[in-house]
Structure 1
Amino acid sequence: MLLGSLWRRCHPGRCVLFLVLALLLDVVGLVFLLLGILASLSYWDFFVYTGALILAFSLLFWVIWYSLNIEVSPEKLDL
């Protein structure tokens, strides 16, 4: 009962595409980063640097998603 009411109030916002892209890039970047760190490969640095770049690039989508979901009341906009 409590979990059902929690999921009803939680919504991803208006820009679901940016949220999905940010989450997807986070997962891919983390997989690459952990693969480069934990696997014994001769080209481990490629995975570490690529994973870090993908994680940094995902921050762009997080900022876009957050800034497009900000709601300001018309009274504060002085229209």
Structure 2
Amino acid sequence: MTFIGRCLVFFFGALFLDAVGLILFFIGIFAPLNFWDFFVFSGPLLMFLSLVLWIFWYLGNLEVPVEELLPQ
């Protein structure tokens, strides 16, 4: 799990939202439903919202040397 980095909650949350969004999107495309537009629009919306979690995961894995944090 060291290759994933820290902040596992954000990582798995983003993966979950991406997977659910992709499933909803494909249900909206391929299922013969009268309310297909709900699935087609909500799937990509969830995938877009997962970008927030991906950004939090990335920011949580940044490493800044102590020398850069000290005032000059």
TM-score by length of 2: 0.89
The percent of aligned pairs where both chains have the same amino acid is 45
How big is the alpha-carbon RMSD for the aligned residues of Structure 1 and Structure 2? Answer: 1.5
Q: Which runs of 5+ in 1 are unaligned?
A: 1-7
Counterpart code for 2:50: S
* Structure 1 segments (4+ residues) deviating >6 Å: none
Q: Which runs of 5+ in 2 are unaligned?
A: none
Q: Does 1:38 align with 2:35?
A: no
Alpha-carbon distance, 1:77 to partner: 1.8
Q: Superposed, which structure 2 residues align to 1:1-79 within 5 Å?
A: 11-79=3-71
Aligned residues: 71
TM-score by length of 1: 0.82
